[in-house]
Structures are given as structure tokens and as C-alpha cells.
Amino acid sequence: MIAADDENLILAASRSALDLLGYDEQAQLVGQRIVAIIPTRYRQAHIAGFTLHLLVGRSPLIGKTVVVPALRRDGSEVVVELTVRSESVPQGRKVFLAELREAAP
């Protein structure tokens, strides 16, 4: 599980997510922008979709499981099953919770 805020910053990561992505401890990932785990070729699409979600509520991926590549710390990629949900928090903010697990080959 990875938690990120509505400013695209990673707030927390579970031990299994850290292991999957090649991080030794939370401090190496927490505080970074979520694009740190998104391969470069998908970053613009992520930013566009994220912005549309925040501005107009467009959410074609929220609550759905998709298979996508994730970027590991060493620059390699791992294919994951990703399910994202959005939670409203005080002051009109949102937190995004992403469950990810390595996809079956």
C-alpha cells in the first residue's frame, strides 16, 4: 500500500510496497512525488489524469484494478496490479491509497 496526497506527494508506504519497489526504508520514498514510481513514459498521462480528477472529479481508474509498470528505485520496472481509492479528509483535501502487488507473469 502507498498513500499519497492531493499534491502528489507520497505520505507513507507499507513494507511490502517498499520491498517490491526496492526501497530499504520509508524515508527513501516518503516525501517524494508519486512520479518517482511511475516510468517516465507514463508521467504526463498520470499528471493529466490526476489533474482532471482533482478539477472535475474524472476518475476512470479509481476503484478499478489495472496492470501497469512501476518504477523501482534502481530504475528497473516491475509490472504490478494497482488499485487506487480516494478518501476525502478534512479541509477539502484528498488522500489516495494505492494497493499494489506484483502481477502474475
CATH number of the structural domain spanning residue 70: 3.30.450.20
Cell of 90: 478534512
Q: What is the overall mean pLDDT for the chain?
A: 93
Q: How many domains does the chain have?
A: 1
Its pTM stands at: 0.90
Length of the chain: 105
What CA–CA distance (Å, rounded) separates 30 from 105? Answer: 29
What range does the domain containing 40 cover?
A: 2-74+82-102
Q: What integer is the mean pLDDT of 81-92? A: 91
Name residue 80's amino acid: V
Q: What integer is the mean pLDDT of 38-52? A: 93
At 80, the pLDDT band (50, 70, 90 cuts) reads very high
For residue 4, CA distances in Å to 81, 83, 105 come to: 17, 13, 27
